[in-house]
Structure 1
Amino acid sequence: MRLDKFLKVSRIIKRRTLAKEVADQGRITINGTVAKASTEVKVGDELKIRFGQKIVTAKINLLKETVRKEEADAMYSIISEEKLTDSLF
């Protein structure tokens, strides 16, 4: 499954176009490698997504083409959330 589609179906990012933009800006890595929106993901992959001043690390547990809202969070597990410091600026 494509990365942008997984992010939308799992509801990590609500819209596929937004997921594509985030990926194309280089803000997502899969297993330590910068990923594009078209990158294929598989069960067991570790995603790191930068949302503003926060980095979320998630592991893919399940891939499904469609999923109900209540079941979407079963597709991944959050491993960690780190807040970025402003010391870089």
Structure 2
Amino acid sequence: MRLDKYLKVSRIIKRRTVANEACDAGRVEVNGKVARASYDVKIGDKIKVSLGQNERCYEVLEINEHALKENAADMYKII
């Protein structure tokens, strides 16, 4: 699954266009490297998102094409 879509489906970022813009601006890192929106997310990847003053790190636990609001938080673990 593409990185921008994963960020949207897991509800780390609300909109896919915002996720895409964050990737293009270099604000999203995967495993310590700046990642493009087209990066293929794998289980075990460590994603670091820097938006404004906030900087959060996540570990990918599962990849689902669709997720309900209640299940979205099960897709990652906050580090």
TM-score over 0.5 for the alignment? yes
Q: For structure 1, list consecutive stretches of 5 or more residues without a partner in the other structure.
A: 80-89
Number of residue pairs matched by the alignment: 79
Structure 1: 4+ residue segments shifted above 4 A: none
AA partner of residue 4 (structure 2): D
In structure 1, the residue matched to 2:12 is: 12
Deviations 1:34-88 (A, max 9, x none): 0011111100000011011121010000000001110000000110xxxxxxxxx
In structure 2, the residue matched to 1:74 is: 74
Deviation (angstroms), 1:22: 0.5
Q: For structure 2, list consecutive stretches of 5 or more residues without a partner in the other structure.
A: none
Higher relative contact order (CA 8 A, sep 6+): 2
CA distance in 2, matches of 1:38, 1:27: 14
Give percent identity, aligned residues only.
53
